[in-house]
Structure 1
Amino acid sequence: MKRALRSLLLGLVWASIWPSYLAVLALAASLGPWPRSTGVLAATILNALALGLLARGVLTWFFKPEGWAERYLEMPPSASRQFRGAGRVLTLAAMAMLVPAYLFLHGEISHDGRALTAPALARFLILGFEILVLASMIYHLRPSSALMLWINPDVPTEPPASADVKAAHPASPVISITRSPLGAVDSAWATWFCRRARTINRLIIAYVAIIILFDYNGYTFAARRLTLGGVESLVVFMIAWGVHRVIGRVIAWRARSGLLTYRIWSWTGAASLLSNRQQRGASGATAPRAGTVDVVADEGEWAVRLARLSTFTILAIGLATLGWIWGIDPTLLKILSERQLWTVSDGSPERMPVVLGDVVKGMTAILAGAALWRYMTTLFSFTLFRKMPDDPGIRFAVVTLCRYVALGVAVIVALESVHLGLAQIGVILAALGVGLGFGLQEIVSNFVCGIILLLERPIRIGDIVTVGETTGKVDRINIRATMIINGDNQCMIVPNREFITGKLVNWTHKDKIMRVSIKLSVAHDSNVDQVVKLLLTIAQSDFDVLSKPASSALLEEIGEMGLKFGLYAFVADPGLVGGTKHRISKAIQERFAQAGIVISSPIREITLAGIPDELTRILDVPRWAQMVGGRVDPGADGSPPPHVVDAPVVADRRVSQN
């Protein structure tokens, strides 16, 4: 932005060097010792030459190849070449026709003390220039021109030609459209207007033709007024379009810089994570930071919103400027604004009138508050968030509090506009106090608790919390309740009061580093040092385990069934706990089997007491022994009978033949 403004100022200064010299000569000519008529004539001619040279220099510099229009407004070379040619022709035509017409109309050419005037010739020259302007507009606004192809959104853009292609075809008549006139961030309504560019062009040509008809039929004042208004409107449109394009480029640049910053963060995060780890697996690509994907997704969203906001702002300012250009009577607006609608009481015997202007002020305040509520995140993303820590919780708290303040100020200003001051508002609130105290007690309590959550910040967006029996990730803090996403991807809506008055566990309040705990038991005869060393090796070889804090493996208890060990490792994000625990447990099972370390399992002996002797003898008999009359047959074979597979029964199938 600074470079574009500096280049524009330097270009204007460079283009105005010779015109300034001619203007100085014109001043010297008007003050010289020769006759006044001669000095005035020379001054007029020199001033006209200065204006023509300034216009030609500015147009040539602005639309030159790789100039300001192509570089900062992203205008295709074919369109800039068309503007440059049209500017040169019209400038020369104005110098050749309008300057003599001015001299003949105002009698600045004199002979022997008598002013020479030629109204008919001056009118002929002016009509000739107007006809030339109309012909130029018809030629340059034809559907196949470069300007119309550039405006038409249905024409596909092409990549810019390389230097070799330009050298091989220096005079190629093919028109190449490489950029859109609306830029990377445009609006649907602007695209709608561009699709109807032909209709708008016909209206512009008809407008110029009407001016020529008025001037030809003698309505000179109307023709001059329409001409002046049209030229000023065209200037306003061009300035608004240029400002919109520059703002669009700045927004696109900020969006690209945000994406570049995200890539740098990802690279530095991967480098630091690599330095903190001992080894990385083949598939151990560094996961992006929590929230970075949302940040990148939000970049495009706030860019589109900010472009839309800038478009509406420029449109409102442009319409106000056009109203001033075309002479909308301020007296009429004043009369309408003072029209009384109703009266209100301010506590005094006299009632205050509420006029239409007061209502318009109140509606303007409400609309401004609503716009700030909607675009607060967009404005802060463009300005303030780049200077703040990359913490979603801080940003959400700042945006929410500023939204509440903006909405409160807008409501107060709107009520003050219609003469409802704090006294009247207090009376209304006092009347509603009983209802608010009893009927809306929980809602007010949750609202106040929400403000406390934003100010004190015991929880933040993205934290893993446990409140009551609910555990999940904080997704959003609203006015009344907070949304938490649990492990089943269910959205749990918890009132804000629960976070302030209830028991709250914030797993990631300090940082997002989480501990992974794995318990296991090995045989009593295992080597303790070998087990500890192997556990630490397994933990350090996992690509999600951090080296700081360091992993630890301890013999915690000598139990009845074996030696009980505990392995503790740390990961950078709570979402990595499950996968890391699975990989480490699997590696422990495989590495312990290779090292010959037995993972013990509980063995329990059950003693049955108070069982009858008959049942005891039955339990001691093998399952294949034969029972005769409730007793064991001593002559039975001690081995189980052979298992005979029953032959399958095949049903008869009779096929009837016709």
Structure 2
Amino acid sequence: FFSTFMLSVISPGLMWLIGWRLGQTAGRNEFVIAMAHGLQGGAFFLATINLTRHMCRSLGLGESHFGWPKGPLDAIRKSMWWLTVVGLPLTLIVLVTESQPDEAIKNSVGRTAFLGLQALFIACAHAVWHAPQGLSKQLTLEKMSGRVDHWWLRLCRLCQVASFAVPGLLAVLALVGYYYTAVQLAQRVLATSWLIGGAFVLHATLLRWLLLAYRDLARKRTREIRAAEDRSRAPNERRGEFSLAEPTVRLADINVQMHKLVGMLVCAAFLFGCSVVWVELYPALEILDTVQLWPHPFSITEKPDATATADLTTVAYTLSLGQLLAATVVGLITAFAAKNVPGLIEISILRNLNLDSGARYAISAVTQYAISACGISLAFGCVGVGWQNVQWLVAAMTVGLGFGLQEIFANFASGLLLLIERPIRVGDLVTIGDTTGKVTRIRIRATTITDSDMREAIVPNRNIISGKVMNWTLTDSTTRMTFTVTIPNTCAPDLVQQVLLDVAKAHPHVLKDPAPHALLDEFAIDKLTFVCHVYLANRDVYNQLRHDLNSAIRAAFIREGIDKSHQEDEPQIIIHLPEAA
């Protein structure tokens, strides 16, 4: 990356230095001052072109390190050549004419160069998108392979439309007489384009850093495994040094949450940069407040004082386009934050604390609900609907819905109690009624329990709060397993007990504390019934442990000569028939 950057700034640095020296020696010569400003501004334009071209070259930074496809990189590199040969002189003309005071030169020479520059941008966009191996072809291939999300494809298509529409709109503004406005907008559009490119490079750089970090971690673990094998191998078995294969780590191996975290950080940086670039145009957006969506504002009669009983006043409420757009933006930000901020908190904070998965899930869920509530409140505030305006309506709706939808409200309140009190947590093994399984989700209305057959049972939260629930792992996940063995009464009880204990203690999943125990539970004339109790740390290995112990008990009984089979003798009835005469 450093070498690519240094190769990109050599010629722009010389151009900027020449412009700076011209500005120092210009005195009051307006043309020289304008030329100095033009060279300094053109240096940044040339640096952007050089940096893009060097990143897109064959086996360059984009192809070798970022993993970008070769076809679109070739198309972008060819477009950068045209921007250098044709676009740089046009940019210098626009910058020089804008830096001198003569309006006639601006509106003639400057406007012509500006129109030519916008036409060049459209031609380069066409070459990049519609080349045989351009971006459109690459997006089509990725869409067919299913490697990208639909929202990313829509965003790329939006960028494709904007790459043609924005230069065309700026050219139209310059043609119809709004040349100054077109130039100001073009400067900010160019700065926004730099931010977009910088966001892509920053995102790719962070992912590359994560890839290298995971690769170093894999290499370290490989060395540790090799060292452990060398220590465990006898000295006479060591054959000398050998090289292990380099661990292969792909971007798909990196945690998905880290991808989301990197994406959120890059998006936040991009939005902050856009706010800085477009901050001077914010006052112009106040014109949207003059666009009334309802030509005739509606009125609400209010008391000027909460204690007054007379002198009612009429307050007019209106809804403008600016308020609606602000509420829409707040709603979109709220939806994005409610979906991603809990995951960010879990990655950056909760995983570093001594909390179980249920506690992390509860904190994330409550955070999501709090963000949603605050965002909805702010969105209503943007359209002028405050608490003082709707409190009477909320009170009436609460009473009405409380009677009509009391089950839903009861489940809602019960869901909050489950997240706060936490009688059950995500990951707990519970029994509710005739359903036994793991808690996988706790939502506002219901809780999802997945049983051993991978069937999901949706249990209303009210049933959990008001009903009987058996939580197998609330304070201790230790579980007891019971075996019942029936053998003939001719077997020695002490031998059977010792065999059962030996088999139980030999299994690695059986806990030493509490220790397993076996006892003679019942005896009859022809059989003995033994019960063996073992304890395991959790129920994740319950079925496998039962199979292993049953198989081991059978093998041990056969080895010790204990007949486990038992079959009662059926009574025989003998009938004597009289002999025939």
Does 1:334 pair with 2:297? no
Q: Which range is displaced more, 594-603 or 68-77? A: 68-77
State the distance in 2 between where 1:90 and 1:585 align: 83
Question: For 1:591, what is the secondary structure of its paired residue?
Answer: helix
TM-score (norm 1): 0.61
State the distance in 2 between where 1:25 and 1:307 align: 42
Residue 516 of structure 2: aligned partner: 552
Residue 239 of structure 1: aligned partner: 195
State the distance in 1 between where 2:500 and 2:441 align: 40
Contact persistence 1:62–1:68 (CA under 8 A): no
Shift of 1:452: 1.6
Does 1:399 pair with 2:392? no
Shift of 1:507: 0.6
Does 1:634 pair with 2:579? yes
Residue 85 of structure 2: aligned partner: 89
Cα 1:74–1:328 shift into 2, 3 Å: farther
State the distance in 1 between where 2:395 and 2:374 align: 20
Shift of 1:577: 1.7
Cα 1:25–1:119 shift into 2, 3 Å: closer
Question: For 1:472, what is the secondary structure of its paired residue?
Answer: strand
Which residue, 137, 155, 166 being the options, matches 1:152?
Answer: 137
State the distance in 1 between where 2:196 and 2:376 align: 32
Does 1:60 pair with 2:24? no
Shift of 1:356: 1.4
Contact persistence 1:94–1:129 (CA under 8 A): yes
Contact persistence 1:345–1:352 (CA under 8 A): yes
Cα 1:79–1:389 shift into 2, 3 Å: farther
Contact persistence 2:428–2:474 (CA under 8 A): yes
1:449 counterpart letter in structure 2:
S
2:291 counterpart letter in structure 1:
L
Which residue, 323, 342, 352 being the options, matches 2:315?
Answer: 352
Contact persistence 2:97–2:110 (CA under 8 A): yes
Question: For 1:356, what is the secondary structure of its paired residue?
Answer: coil
Shift of 1:82: 2.3
Cα 1:151–1:480 shift into 2, 3 Å: closer
Shift of 1:506: 0.6
Cα 1:404–1:125 shift into 2, 3 Å: closer
1:634 counterpart letter in structure 2:
E
1:334 counterpart letter in structure 2:
D
1:56 counterpart letter in structure 2:
L
Cα 1:405–1:184 shift into 2, 3 Å: closer
Question: For 1:471, what is the secondary structure of its paired residue?
Answer: strand
Structure 1 regions of 5+ residues with no counterpart? 108-117, 158-178, 269-295, 607-618, 627-632, 637-658
State the distance in 2 between where 1:185 and 1:7 align: 36
1:82 counterpart letter in structure 2:
K
State the distance in 2 between where 1:85 and 1:225 align: 29
Which residue, 467, 471, 494 being the options, matches 2:432?
Answer: 467
Cα 1:17–1:333 shift into 2, 3 Å: same
Cα 1:62–1:579 shift into 2, 3 Å: same
Does 1:28 pair with 2:24? yes
Shift of 1:459: 0.4
How much is the aligned-residue C-alpha RMSD, in angstroms?
Answer: 5.7
Q: Percent identity?
A: 20
**Could you list the per-position Cα deviations for residues 350-398 of structure 1 after superposition, in whole angstroms to 9, with x for gaps in the alignment?**
1322121496355655555455445555554665555456744223322
2:196 counterpart letter in structure 1:
A
1:150 counterpart letter in structure 2:
L
Contact persistence 1:69–1:80 (CA under 8 A): no
Shift of 1:17: 5.5
State the distance in 2 between where 1:126 and 1:14 align: 30
Contact persistence 2:511–2:536 (CA under 8 A): no
Contact persistence 2:439–2:448 (CA under 8 A): yes
Question: For 1:509, what is the secondary structure of its paired residue?
Answer: coil
Cα 1:404–1:124 shift into 2, 3 Å: closer
State the distance in 2 between where 1:620 and 1:209 align: 112
Which residue, 567, 572, 583 being the options, matches 2:532?
Answer: 567
Does 1:484 pair with 2:443? no
The equivalences for 1:639-658 within 5 A come to none
Shift of 1:596: 0.5
State the distance in 2 between where 1:515 and 1:55 align: 73
**Could you list the per-position Cα deviations for residues 539-597 of structure 1 after superposition, in whole angstroms to 9, with x for gaps in the alignment?**
45657x24555762433457345665443344454243223213321332233123202
Q: Which range is displaced more, 202-211 or 232-241? A: 202-211
Cα 1:450–1:298 shift into 2, 3 Å: farther
The equivalences for 1:173-188 within 5 A come to 187-188=152-153
Query: Relative to total residues, which structure has the larger helix share, 1 or 2?
Result: 2
1:593 counterpart letter in structure 2:
I
Cα 1:132–1:579 shift into 2, 3 Å: closer
Residue 241 of structure 2: aligned partner: none
Structure 2 regions of 5+ residues with no counterpart? 225-251, 305-311
TM-score (norm 2): 0.68
The size of the alignment, in residue pairs, is 532
**Could you list the per-position Cα deviations for residues 400-444 of structure 1 after superposition, in whole angstroms to 9, with x for gaps in the alignment?**
222332333344445555665545555345545654665555544
Question: For 1:187, what is the secondary structure of its paired residue?
Answer: helix
1:332 counterpart letter in structure 2:
I
State the distance in 2 between where 1:355 and 1:208 align: 34
Residue 615 of structure 1: aligned partner: none
State the distance in 2 between where 1:156 and 1:567 align: 62
**Could you list the per-position Cα deviations for residues 12-45 of structure 1 after superposition, in whole angstroms to 9, with x for gaps in the alignment?**
98887555644553343145xxxx55xx665555
Shift of 1:454: 0.6
Question: For 1:458, what is the secondary structure of its paired residue?
Answer: coil
Question: For 1:153, what is the secondary structure of its paired residue?
Answer: helix
Cα 1:321–1:393 shift into 2, 3 Å: same
Cα 1:604–1:426 shift into 2, 3 Å: farther
